[in-house]
Amino acid sequence: MKEQFDVIIIGAGIVGSTVARFLSRYHLRILLMEKEPEICMGTSGANSATIHSGHSVQSGTLKAEMNLKGSAMWDTLSGELQIPFERRGDYVIAIGEEELPALDILISQGRANGVLGLSIISGDEMRKREPNINSLTRGALWSRNSSLCDPWIATIATAENAVANGVTIKLNTRFDDFIMESRRIVGVKSNHGIFGCRWVINAGGVYADEIMHRAGVHPEFKITPRRGEFFLLDGRYVTLNNLLSPVPSKVSKGIAVKPTADGNVLAGSNAQDIENKEDLAVTPEGLTEVWAGACKLIPSLNYQYTLAVFAGLRASGNAPSKNKLAKYNADFIVELAEEVDGLINLAGIESPGLTAAPAIAIQVIELLQEAGEKLTEKSGWNPIRLARIRTNNLSVEERAELLKKARYQKVPSWLWSALRQ
Ligand SMILES: Cc1cc2nc3c(=O)[nH]c(=O)nc-3n(C[C@H](O)[C@H](O)[C@H](O)COP(=O)(O)OP(=O)(O)OC[C@H]3O[C@@H](n4cnc5c(N)ncnc54)[C@H](O)[C@@H]3O)c2cc1C
């Protein structure tokens, strides 16, 4: 073997990076393996950036459980990692009388899931809170605890904190296969050689099905990517106070309009099942559909203020919920594989996977303990990651002050070179 680890995590999206960060608390040699040249190149970098409160997930599913637990963890996590996060709340908007019954269904579902801070407000009240909203708005579901975050910074920060606590990251390193001794996994083959390990955690996003199939696990499980397209609009020219969603469809939460953590506006997304797991194309038809959906909420939007268009792929799986009471057949898989020893699968992690990531990480710790792994805490584990200073936001005087301080203190090389620009 090239190098020996206790745990290899495949995939440095929000799920793999958060698992790495939480596991870095223990005496474990951990490798986070990512096939792309950078972390957060998959779905974690192309989504609606919302920490959902949990009213729109089917009751009784693992998704609902992980949504609620994960959402509650983000206040502490964002504080420790010093990343943007704001419990601004969100609104599901009923346009026309015929959409009002959907709000009652959602509020009942949310309460059954244990979501606090839900109420229904009138169309008039909604127009006061969001003056540019569609004048046909008849009511809205207000969810006080939904939040906006920055999923890119969140993933980078969790991975940075994991590395600061001893995790090794290997980029451009693609998992190719497992190395087995009888039914036990003892290592993995990659495009950069073989690595020994006692545990593999499969956080491979849209490829999580193919990864588990290499070990002969759940051959019936299939991920069909569900593409969602977005517009990013320039926040200097679009007035939007709140996170707004339409009443949901059967397959997605619908085309929403939301402020981003850095002051722009996100409009999206649609939901289209595709076959190709690399197909991140935006299409004229898709963008037309997204624009129409966004304008249904805010009719005055102007596409002249578009900064970018992009697409993300939901890792939609076909795993039935383990809870027999749930009427849903596409739940998360968070499990110790039964067919082999040494594999934990985190698969089918479509929305609300960003929200759920910290809860999934805790579940991984519990699964390892359940399997007999003795986890001992490191004395020097540091949960704090300092926010990066954005030097382009500083005045000349502030830069000069920092430079003066930098002469007497050890500062990171990236900050030193940024200050001297
Ligand atoms: C349109 C859209 C909107 C969404 N909105 C929200 C939202 O508002 N709130 C929310 O909570 N969730 C939302 N989600 C869901 C959320 O984005 C995902 O659940 C989450 O990002 C999944 O993270 P992940 O780490 O599992 O996957 P990814 O981010 O895709 O990470 C998987 C990683 O594994 C790597 N990988 C794959 N195969 C290999 C291999 N063989 N070797 C090495 N590396 C490999 C990939 O390169 C990738 O980096 C949305 C998703 C979409 C598409």
Residue 52 has pLDDT above 60, yes or no: yes
Determine the pLDDT at residue 417: 64
Q: Which listed residue (27, 52, 213, 218) is catalytic? A: 52
Q: How far is the CA of 64 from the centre of ligand 1 (A)?
A: 18
Q: Whose CA is nearest to atom 18 of ligand 1?
A: 353
Cα(256)–Cα(130) distance, integer angstroms:
14
The residue-averaged pLDDT of 115-124 equals 98
Cα(331)–Cα(327) distance, integer angstroms:
10
Is residue 52 part of the annotated active site? The answer reads: yes
Probe target for ligand 1 pocket from 8, 47, 355, with the most ligand atoms within 8 Å of CB: 47
Residue 324 has pLDDT above 70, yes or no: no
Counting residues of the chain whose pLDDT is more than 90, the rounded percentage is: 87
Residue 96 has pLDDT above 80, yes or no: yes
CA geometry: angle 398, 399, 404, nearest 5 deg = 100
What are the angstrom distances between the C-alpha of 33 and each of 193, 213, 343? 12, 18, 15
Q: 400: pLDDT confidence band, cut at 50, 70 and 90?
A: confident
Ligand 1 binding site (Cβ under 6 Å of any ligand atom) = 10-16, 33-36, 41-44, 47-50, 52, 174-175, 203-205, 207, 228, 269, 312-314, 349-355
Q: 250: pLDDT confidence band, cut at 50, 70 and 90?
A: confident
Identity of the residue numbered 244:
L
Mean pLDDT lowest for which of 3-7, 62-66, 245-249, 391-395?
Answer: 391-395
Q: Whose CA is nearest to atom 38 of ligand 1?
A: 204
pLDDT tens per residue, range 178-224: 999 999 999 999 999 999 999 999 999 999 999 999 999 999 999 99
Determine the pLDDT at residue 246: 98
> How do strand 199-202 and strand 343-347 relate by DSSP bridges?
parallel
The residue-averaged pLDDT of 310-316 equals 98
The residue-averaged pLDDT of 70-84 equals 98
Q: How far is the CA of 121 from the centre of ligand 1 (A)?
A: 34
For residue 311, the ligand 1 atom closest to its alpha carbon is 1
For residue 40, the ligand 1 atom closest to its alpha carbon is 49
Q: Whose CA is nearest to atom 2 of ligand 1?
A: 47
Q: 84: pLDDT confidence band, cut at 50, 70 and 90?
A: very high
The residue-averaged pLDDT of 372-384 equals 97
Mean pLDDT of the chain, nearest integer: 94
Residues in Cβ contact with 286 at an 8 Å cutoff, skipping those fewer than 6 apart = 227, 229, 270, 272, 311
Q: 414: pLDDT confidence band, cut at 50, 70 and 90?
A: low
Dihedral of the alpha carbons of 161, 164, 169, 171, in degrees to the nearest 10: 70
Q: Determine whether 38 is exposed, middle or buried from the number of CB atoms within 10 Å of its CB (0-12, 13-18, 19+).
A: exposed
Q: Quote the pTM value.
A: 0.95
Determine the pLDDT at residue 179: 98
For residue 16, the ligand 1 atom closest to its alpha carbon is 25
Residue 421 has pLDDT above 60, yes or no: no
For residue 15, the ligand 1 atom closest to its alpha carbon is 25
Cα(36)–Cα(235) distance, integer angstroms:
31
Q: How long a stretch of residues is the chain?
A: 421
Q: How far is the CA of 143 from the centre of ligand 1 (A)?
A: 25
Neighbours of 154 (CB within 10 A): 28
The residue-averaged pLDDT of 52-65 equals 95
Q: How far is the CA of 141 from the centre of ligand 1 (A)?
A: 28
Determine the pLDDT at residue 329: 65
Mean pLDDT lowest for which of 40-54, 135-149, 213-227, 237-251?
Answer: 237-251
Q: Which domains does the chain have, with CATH numbers?
A: 3-46+152-222+318-370 (3.50.50.60), 87-146+225-314 (3.30.9.10), 391-421 (no CATH)
Single out the residue of 373, 383, 407 nearest to residue 83, CA to CA.
383
Taking only Cα atoms into account, the Rg of the chain, rounded to an integer number of angstroms, comes to 22
Q: How far is the CA of 313 from the centre of ligand 1 (A)?
A: 8
Residue 78 has pLDDT above 90, yes or no: yes
pLDDT tens per residue, range 261-298: 999 999 999 999 999 999 999 999 999 999 999 999 99
Q: How far is the CA of 410 from the centre of ligand 1 (A)?
A: 36
Place of tokens 């244990």: 114
CA geometry: angle 310, 315, 319, nearest 5 deg = 160
Q: Whose CA is nearest to atom 35 of ligand 1?
A: 11
pLDDT tens per residue, range 334-370: 999 999 999 999 999 999 999 999 999 999 999 999 9
Counting residues of the chain whose pLDDT is more than 70, the rounded percentage is: 95
Q: Whose CA is nearest to atom 39 of ligand 1?
A: 204
For residue 50, the ligand 1 atom closest to its alpha carbon is 8
